[in-house]
Structure 1
């Protein structure tokens, strides 16, 4: 569980933070490894070069003092005194703290400051054997002189095993072992190591910062794209929900429109049957009456009967024209909104003889024909309902614009009614609601005992985009 918790916390981190942690650890480990390797190489190279210079210097001083090491088994007194003066009072006195001259069989030919080691044969160590093979050996830090009197020194020492070659044959005839005080060497080595560590740290840091900048930029771009994608998905989800709602609404409107069309057809058939059809039927019956078929009928009575039939036929034609005028709209497709409202109000005034107050906002906006027809039918039906059910008392029509919506209100001061008492199959209010909502508008009724207000609203901008 702890490991799983750590993995979960790691996966919850951002890409940039994961890179910062993992990349920082890897860069730190790489810097330590590279730095350690480079400083080791530098220490070896500096130690070797410094030892070579010192060995060459020592060899140039003591080589003229030494006899033929190929044939000499020991150093004579003159050579010994000369070496004592060289390492005691000469230029090497302050630099070399311990010096020994080894023969190939492990015999110490000369030693300072511990003279007791002269003439002893010791087992040659690995460094001494390497020097007798012709290679110079140098060590720093771990070097420790064999003399107990020199071990207590705090000075850093450079241990050097330098092969002494026979000039004419190049054969190693002896090895000089000495310990040099390496204060300056240690300082130079520390400076070189510090520079190498600074260089490795600088390069690693620059590389890590460059990669971090790239990763952070990429992570920022990914985060922005992810946010944009999430926002887009959210918007698409909202649009999908709206489309589903609109689709369901359109289906309901379609079903309702079909039912309303059937109701309109039934009402039209009833109006034709109860009105013009009855009058025409009455005229047809009167045509077959005895007054017209009997030749003995007086002329005056015949003329009266014909006049009655003609009057009923004229009445039927008037009702047919009235029904047709209600079905056929005036030319409002090309009219502006104020003209549409004026035509609807004027038509109601002519039909009822009542006054209707009309109030309109200054200015006009372009509306599609479907919106104009909807507004005309709304005003026509609302005024007719107010006339039939409210007596047409103080009827008024008011048009305004509200936040890009065109708002139409038809009001009267009638006794009001209960909207719940109007069934869903009612043609007037139900038809208006379906017609308005099918265009994306809203339909509301506000009624009380002091009057009724019917209100509709259409969004002009949405209709223009549609």
Structure 2
């Protein structure tokens, strides 16, 4: 943090140059009052020598401290030498205690934890001696005053140490919080990166699934429109080939031509995912009735259509699904069952719509049919897939020789337009 870096730089400058400044202040003040307090010439020379020694100690430590930043034996020796010089200077002149005060600020940087309290107490003794009038105290009252001032200094040290401990704990908690936030941010960034990669993967999968679903839709539409139309056209052309007279041939050729046009229209609508032609104008009941009628006329199979319940306008997707299922069921009845009669019933029952297609054809074994078509196809599996796509279900009941019943149940979803 920029603010913390500035504070640390200022404290480093103070620890580097502060002792010189306090020594200078103490020397100037002590020299100014030396005569007033009765310092002798010998004491003045001794004080000058100690000041020079203090400067030498600071210079030496300034070089040594660059290679020994952590508290250790060298820093403890420096602290002890500085305290001893300050103590003797204060003994000679109480105002030299300005230099002794620096011991309060350097204990945590210079002394190992086990001797830090002793170093601070020594500094407190020196400062208390200066505050009580000089060392040694004079008389019993002087010792009392010295002891009281020393107790005050010690209590202040304890208070400041407690406050410093609280601040250190707060700073440590703040550092841990910042570190935790950094870890959380890193984890969050990793999660965001993973989510971005997963999102890209999901987009690719969704695109691929959409392409596959569109292919399945088109394949089913082609099967339900072009394939069935071609089957009908072939059937009509076969009738034409065996027609006994020209009128019959023309009738079936016209039917084949109509089938071809209808199949072409349905193919175009399938490509654009539009509703079947039969539903373009009519509702589902009308479209089913026309489909069943045209199919019966075209195939010669007797076919009937019935509506039960109250008919409602259904959603386009529901109507298209039921119509396609009916077309496929009718196609299967003609091509495979060789039925002679088919019945189609559309039932509106509350919240469901049911489509039933029954024939009297040859029937089949549904289990065997599923085994034959498990690798693909658009017959029963296609009808079932259509129903399930709109949350419906398809069931088939059949038995060889007893016809087939196809039933589709889908939710009744109304057209809200």
TM-score (norm 2): 0.48
Higher helix share: 2
Higher strand share: 1
TM-score (norm 1): 0.44
